[in-house]
A and B are shown apart, each in its own frame.
Chain A
């Protein structure tokens, strides 16, 4: 009767499906400093950010291209003074508009205005179930209390709320409390995602890598909670990558379902793609979005299976995980076209598991918080 919109069901140009989702990183500015931030190590400055008009044009191109879901993200998107105008423009072009926020910078009035402008959904991050832990992980005192207020205002205006909980060594044992908090705040959905080790998180491996025991407990907990809370809250779970047998289907396959636009307008197949130095990325200021999606070298680099090593090309799972994560392959195997070392069939798997084991049992050192270089963080 229904199915997820999937690449297989879509009539596409030259075999390339239209994108379903676009992540718009409106800014890299953020009051929080989470040590696993998905932004790149080299953050883009406010001066390089696209203007209001440029973003609105990108949204309308995205809608025309077939994008259904637009994620307004950052950094902290509320740091953009034109967030209301951007939201209104996105909603009026028919995009399902989702705000991914830390909550800092939102007020009761601003949330009401965003709801009136057509915001479809708000996704609020939490860093822990207690103010002490959450504020230490986020590097922002008072953040936890503010987030609770934002959740209440969001619930009050009726905009559906997702709580987004990134989990790691230091907060994973609070998973049950974070879930209870999400239910109490009226969230319809929670995303429990284990840290992915790229960029900032890679700098904080010893502070963040969960132990195998923690991961197994979390997996069991989620299974049980899904049954117990069916119809109350939807639980989307990203299990620990380094403790799985097979790699994640990163981005649902390279250049297959989604795209990411950086604050300055660079278009990436995933938020970490800039870590692959052999790729060059086009900018929406120079080239139409549709052209970039269908024709650019970066988006075509890892489509299909021509690029795959034999191990992946002959594998029965290649249509499930697409060989895993390209950025992780580069970081750990030194080759972005290698099999993701998370895979049990990768020759590098054993070394990855051993390193994860060592990092997970190391006494957590102080966080390296994310920040702009000049801030000295």
Chain B
């Protein structure tokens, strides 16, 4: 884990899937997959929700606030999870970021 790239992602970051990365239903296996060059990742429900929320408009902070209300959970904790997710997927070159 490179510290520099972790630090560059914050609540102000706005993210969206890069071109060539897309979410798809996989009816044969009954799951949702994120497809990228040479990668097919089976996502759980939470990951699918995060990916769908990364619309290139709302900040991670906005998304965390919304999930916090929806799931009645502490916003700081949710934001931490979202930042970790965005950090991991940006290292895999799957996201376009603006801060």
Q: Is the CB of A236 within 8 A of B19?
A: no
Q: Is the CB of B93 within 8 A of A2?
A: no
Residue B91 CB within 8 A of the other chain: yes
Residue B46 CB within 8 A of the other chain: yes
Collect the chain B residues with CB atoms within 8 Å of residue A123's CB: 37
Interface residues as binary, B30-51 with A (CB distance below 8 Å gives 1, 0 otherwise): 1101110111111110110000
Q: Is the CB of B33 within 8 A of A189?
A: no
Residue A353 CB within 8 A of the other chain: no
Instruction: Tell me, rounded to whole Å, the shortest Cβ–Cβ distance linking A292 to chain B.
Output: 16
Nearest chain-A residue to B85 (Cβ)? A1
Q: Is the CB of B38 within 8 A of A69?
A: yes
Nearest chain-A residue to B20 (Cβ)? A160
Residue A288 CB within 8 A of the other chain: no
Contacts A1-B43, A2-B43 hold; do A231 and B90 have CB atoms under 8 A apart?
A: yes
Instruction: Tell me, rounded to whole Å, the shortest Cβ–Cβ distance linking A161 to chain B.
Output: 9
What is the interface size of chain A, counting residues whose CB is below 8 A from a CB of the partner? 35
Residue A230 CB within 8 A of the other chain: yes
Collect the chain B residues with CB atoms within 8 Å of residue A20's CB: 40
Residue B18 CB within 8 A of the other chain: yes
Instruction: Tell me, rounded to whole Å, the shortest Cβ–Cβ distance linking A8 to chain B.
Output: 11
Q: Is the CB of A11 within 8 A of B34?
A: no
Interface residues as binary, A188-214 with B (CB distance below 8 Å gives 1, 0 otherwise): 110100000000000000000000000
Interface residues as binary, A118-129 with B (CB distance below 8 Å gives 1, 0 otherwise): 001101000000
Residue A156 CB within 8 A of the other chain: no
A120 to B22, CA, bound (A): 9
Nearest chain-A residue to B43 (Cβ)? A2
Q: Is the CB of A120 within 8 A of B39?
A: no
A20 to B31, CA, bound (A): 13
Q: Is the CB of A188 within 8 A of B37?
A: yes
Residue A14 CB within 8 A of the other chain: no
Q: Is the CB of B28 within 8 A of A18?
A: yes
Collect the chain A residues with CB atoms within 8 Å of residue B42's CB: 2-5, 9
A188 to B20, CA, bound (A): 11
Interface residues as binary, B76-99 with A (CB distance below 8 Å gives 1, 0 otherwise): 000000000100001111000000
Instruction: Tell me, rounded to whole Å, the shortest Cβ–Cβ distance linking B3 to chain A.
Output: 11
Collect the chain A residues with CB atoms within 8 Å of residue B90's CB: 231
What is the interface size of chain B, counting residues whose CB is below 8 A from a CB of the partner? 31
Q: Is the CB of A96 within 8 A of B93?
A: no
Residue B55 CB within 8 A of the other chain: no
Nearest chain-B residue to A115 (Cβ)? B19
Contacts A1-B47, A5-B40, A227-B2 hold; do A188 and B26 have CB atoms under 8 A apart?
A: no
A191 to B91, CA, bound (A): 16
Q: Is the CB of A65 within 8 A of B92?
A: no
Q: Is the CB of A11 within 8 A of B40?
A: no
A244 to B88, CA, bound (A): 30
Instruction: Tell me, rounded to whole Å, the shortest Cβ–Cβ distance linking B64 to chain A.
Output: 16
Chain A stretch 163-196: residues in CB contact (< 8 A) with chain B? 188-189, 191
Instruction: Tell me, rounded to whole Å, the shortest Cβ–Cβ distance linking B34 to chain A.
Output: 7
Q: Is the CB of A120 within 8 A of B40?
A: no
Q: Is the CB of B28 within 8 A of A4?
A: no
Which of B26, B91, B93 sits near A189, CB closer than 8 Å?
B93
A231 to B96, CA, bound (A): 11
Collect the chain A residues with CB atoms within 8 Å of residue B34's CB: 2
Q: Is the CB of A159 within 8 A of B19?
A: yes
Collect the chain B residues with CB atoms within 8 Å of residue A15's CB: none
Residue A276 CB within 8 A of the other chain: no
Contacts A2-B44, A69-B38 hold; do A120 and B29 have CB atoms under 8 A apart?
A: no
Q: Is the CB of A160 within 8 A of B19?
A: yes
Interface residues as binary, B1-32 with A (CB distance below 8 Å gives 1, 0 otherwise): 01001000000000000111110101011110
Pick the 6 closest A-B CB pairs, nearest first: A66-B28, A160-B20, A188-B93, A96-B35, A5-B40, A2-B41
Instruction: Give 8 A-B pairs besides A5-B41, A160-B18, A191-B38 with Cβ atoms closer than 8 angstroms.
Output: A4-B41, A5-B33, A9-B29, A9-B42, A11-B30, A69-B35, A94-B24, A231-B2
A/B interface sample: 29 pairs, CB < 8 A: A1-B47, A1-B85, A2-B42, A2-B47, A3-B41, A3-B42, A4-B40, A5-B40, A5-B42, A9-B42, A10-B29, A11-B29, A18-B28, A18-B29, A66-B26, A66-B28, A68-B26, A69-B35, A69-B38, A96-B24, A96-B40, A120-B20, A159-B20, A162-B37, A227-B2, A231-B91, A234-B92, A234-B93, A236-B38
